Amino acid sequence: MTAHYQVRDAVAVITLDNPPVNGLGHRTRVGIVECMTRAFDDSSVEAIVLTGSGRAFSGGADIREFGTPKALQEPSLHTVIETIEASGKPVVAAMHGVAMGGGLELALGCHYRIAAKDTQIALPEVNLGLLPGAGGTQRLPRVIGLEAALNMIVSGKTVLAGKLADARLFDELVDGDVLEAATGFACRAARASASHPKVRDLAVRHESAEAYLGFARTTVAASAGPFPAPLQCVKAVAASLKPFDEGLREERRRFMELLGTSEARALRHAFLGERAASRIPDVPADIAARNIAKVAIIGAGTMGGGIAMTFLNAGIPVTVLETKADALERGVATIRRNYENTAKKGKLSQGAVETRMGLLTTTLSYNDIKDADLVIEAVFEDFSVKETVFRTLDEVMKPGAILASNTSTLDVNRIASFTRRPQDVVGLHFFSPANVMKLLEVVRGETTSHDVLATVMQLAKKIGKVAVVSGVCDGFIGNRMVEQYSRQAGFLLDEGALPEQVDRAIEKFGFAMGPFRMIDMAGNDIAWAIRKRRAVEQPEFNYSKTGDLLCEMGRLGQKAGAGWYDYKPGDRKAYPSAVVNDMIVRHSGELGITRRKISDAEIVERLIDALVNEGALILEEGIASKASDIDMVYLNGYGFPKFRGGPMLYADQVGLFNVAQAMRRYAKGYQGHAWRIARSLEQLASDGKGFND
């Protein structure tokens, strides 16, 4: 059972017990109703206290049930709350840890609420593409006011209970034992009165509600982008001005409308996928992690500096090692400048800047980093340089130190072979700017030990990264997929499209930036070098030649003032380039291709299907262990639109039968041999399944 019942001094204590956060899944809801009924029937019970075991009162509805019949199976959360509210005996919520979503709604259905001051309070449903669907939009305005409730619900932000002391939400806020305080309060309430307050009976007051709500609707509609939930939240909260039952019905209707949206499914997928990524199938969840108290970073360049900031932000001391003093000075100056700029924007106090800088030390000597628990090299992407670094680290670092490479494509197994401790070697592929981008690809070598993997996955959460484990292959997960995406973008130019059309089409689909604007920003010479390497290693792996022609024209991108687009000094805007477009059209002629008008739909389909197909191959080869890992990579490192959930979830929603059909069509077209359709994708399509089933 996931709700326990115990009577102490005429008080029935009902304890939610559904680890890890007392999610209000169906079994828990049944348990609460059964315990409540038992308390009603027990004449020795004068009052009831509802509390949560472990670290939370309740984290809300059980997100894992959404999309299954259990989510709405009776007793629904509404039924549970009505049962509590209708109780003749006073029901007191004893709240600690987390009271979020349905967990807070459950407490709002109680007659009284006693909370520890540091309890995290939130109605974060909007982050899941939903709205509070068990009375939260109707009850919260009645206890903290219309505006405060609307702000909390539309933002989904967490507030500490102690900050809400002036509101009618809590009857007592305690520092000590909240269960003891609640039990005493319950006894007194039972003896003080035969009737007990219901939040639903309170009125919502606001001197100019319509004007305020009109402003809120306009503001939220303008900023919600592709997500329907924020505006629905405003409308549901507005209904709290109506009679309670009428407002509750409206909330329910709007909640059910959102529950079935693709945006809600995408956001749920992102929430659960981020957390599932930290679970590595063959690594036991309870394996002991190594302690990481000190970190060393080799290289104070853009990546090394960004990585250093990531650890400093988490309060972890960092020593940065360089070969030359001026490189160190430049690196430290850049770190300080970044923090100062953040402080100027009011996002960081000057004190915090100094605290973080105080955790940073520098050195020119390997001897100064030998006691670090983790060392990350962020040096030039070249095997000979990596070999020198890792052979030195192998000599210098204490036993048990984790030796990590920030390589973005090189073979981590080969890097590990430069040491006598390959089990301690792992890839930690950060994305630039490393102190901003959430994605961290953890590249496991054949010999990387389980406890090293467990350690870096835990550390990733501490430094605010979404970590995804990748096996060793060229480009790991993200860069390997983006290569196929870029390849299709080039073929589209050969066939009739121009860079600005391709970028515009995929940006309309939701990407932050199309492939040509993106490579102009990253530098066209990077892709050029990869193509040259590929031409030697895999001559059959062909590309559109337009990328090479562009580089031969010296158009290396924004840094050269010209790339696929023209740029003006001091202006980052990308202007379509007549010179480049002429080159593209001329090149099609040289290929003997009659250029054709290509629809935006075809552009999007070919770019996305190229990602999906490579993702399927990555799964087949075991480079990624689950489709949601691939989605987490693309959502957190490559600007895939969050409201679509990632390439693999999007393909599921298109239907793999349709995806496979399109790929077969493209496989017959120009450069069709680029479409080596993944066997697993064909199989899933014919079985009528999806990657995320």
Helix (H/G/I), strand (E/B), else coil: 180: helix
Smallest distance from the beta carbon of 557 to ligand T1G, in angstroms?
A: 39
Total number of residues that touch ligand T1G (CB under 6 A): 25
Smallest distance from the beta carbon of 223 to ligand T1G, in angstroms?
A: 21
For residue 105, indicate whether it is catalytic.
yes
Distant-in-sequence, close-in-space partners of 487: CB < 8 Å, separation ≥ 6? 543, 544, 610, 674
Q: Please choose, out of 59-67, 84-92, 484-492, 671-679, the segment that lies near ligand T1G by the rule CB under 6 A.
A: 59-67
Q: Please choose, out of 7-15, 99-107, 354-362, 508-516, the segment that lies near ligand T1G by the rule CB under 6 A.
A: 99-107
Tell me whether residue 102 or residue 514 sits nearer to ligand T1G (CB atom).
102
By beta carbon distance, the residue nearest ligand T1G is: 101
User: Tokens 């939610």 — which residue?
Assistant: 16
In the shown chain, the binding pattern of residues 601 to 620 toward ligand T1G, with x for contact by CB under 6 A and - for none, equals: --------------------
132 counts as binding ligand T1G under rule CB under 6 A: yes
The active-site residue out of 85, 125, 251, 274 is: 125
84 counts as binding ligand T1G under rule CB under 6 A: no
Q: Of 607, 589, 586, which is closest to residue 492 (Cα–Cα)?
A: 607
Cα–Cα distance, 600 to 153 (Å, whole number): 37
For residue 620, indicate whether it is catalytic.
no
505-517: string of b/e by CB count within 10 Å (b at 16+)? bbeebbbebbbbb
Full strand arrangement of the beta sheet holding 374-377? 360-363, 318-321, 295-298, 374-377, 402-405, 425-430, 439-443, 466-470
Residue ranges in 270-299 that form contacts with ligand T1G under rule CB under 6 A: 272, 275
Smallest distance from the beta carbon of 127 to ligand T1G, in angstroms?
A: 6
Smallest distance from the beta carbon of 98 to ligand T1G, in angstroms?
A: 5
Smallest distance from the beta carbon of 82 to ligand T1G, in angstroms?
A: 14
Helix (H/G/I), strand (E/B), else coil: 41: helix
125 counts as binding ligand T1G under rule CB under 6 A: yes
Cα–Cα distance, 676 to 540 (Å, whole number): 12
Beta-ladder partners of 568: 571
264 counts as binding ligand T1G under rule CB under 6 A: no
Q: Please choose, out of 98-106, 188-196, 299-307, 578-586, the segment that lies near ligand T1G by the rule CB under 6 A.
A: 98-106
Residue ranges in 181-220 that form contacts with ligand T1G under rule CB under 6 A: none
61 counts as binding ligand T1G under rule CB under 6 A: yes
Tell me whether residue 181 or residue 259 sits nearer to ligand T1G (CB atom).
259
Among 47, 134, 178, 277, binds ligand T1G (CB under 6 A): 134
The active-site residue out of 46, 65, 85, 105 is: 105
62 counts as binding ligand T1G under rule CB under 6 A: yes
Residue ranges in 1-20 that form contacts with ligand T1G under rule CB under 6 A: 20
Cα–Cα distance, 553 to 568 (Å, whole number): 18
List of E strands, 17-90? 47-52
Cα–Cα distance, 292 to 622 (Å, whole number): 29
Helix pair angle (679-687, 600-620), 10° resolution: 100
Q: Of 300, 435, 314, 425, which is closest to residue 374 (Cα–Cα)?
A: 425
Distant-in-sequence, close-in-space partners of 28: CB < 8 Å, separation ≥ 6? 2, 3, 16, 18, 22, 62
23 counts as binding ligand T1G under rule CB under 6 A: yes
In the shown chain, the binding pattern of residues 426 to 445 toward ligand T1G, with x for contact by CB under 6 A and - for none, equals: --------------------
Cα–Cα distance, 164 to 182 (Å, whole number): 18
Give the pair of three-digit tokens for residue 537: 């290693």
Helix (H/G/I), strand (E/B), else coil: 365: coil
- H/E segment holding residue 488: helix 478-495
Among 105, 250, 605, 609, binds ligand T1G (CB under 6 A): 105
Q: Please choose, out of 45-53, 56-64, 237-245, 598-606, the segment that lies near ligand T1G by the rule CB under 6 A.
A: 56-64
Please give the distance of CA 198 from its chain centroid, rounded to a whole number: 38
How many Cα atoms are found within 13 Å in the side-chain-facing hemisphere of 197? 18
52 counts as binding ligand T1G under rule CB under 6 A: no
Tell me whether residue 52 or residue 124 sits nearer to ligand T1G (CB atom).
124
102 counts as binding ligand T1G under rule CB under 6 A: yes
Among 12, 14, 16, 21, binds ligand T1G (CB under 6 A): 21
Give the pair of three-digit tokens for residue 136: 């939260």
547 counts as binding ligand T1G under rule CB under 6 A: no
Taking each continuous run of H as one helix and of E as one strand, the counts in the chain are 27, 19
495 counts as binding ligand T1G under rule CB under 6 A: no
Q: Please choose, out of 96-104, 359-367, 445-453, 585-593, the segment that lies near ligand T1G by the rule CB under 6 A.
A: 96-104
Smallest distance from the beta carbon of 272 to ligand T1G, in angstroms?
A: 6
55-73: string of b/e by CB count within 10 Å (b at 16+)? ebbbbbbbbebbeeeebee
Smallest distance from the beta carbon of 197 to ligand T1G, in angstroms?
A: 22
263 counts as binding ligand T1G under rule CB under 6 A: no
Q: Which residues are catalytic?
A: 105, 125
Name the residues that contact ligand T1G, by CB under 6 A: 20-21, 23, 59-64, 77, 98, 100-102, 105, 124-125, 128, 130, 132-134, 136, 272, 275
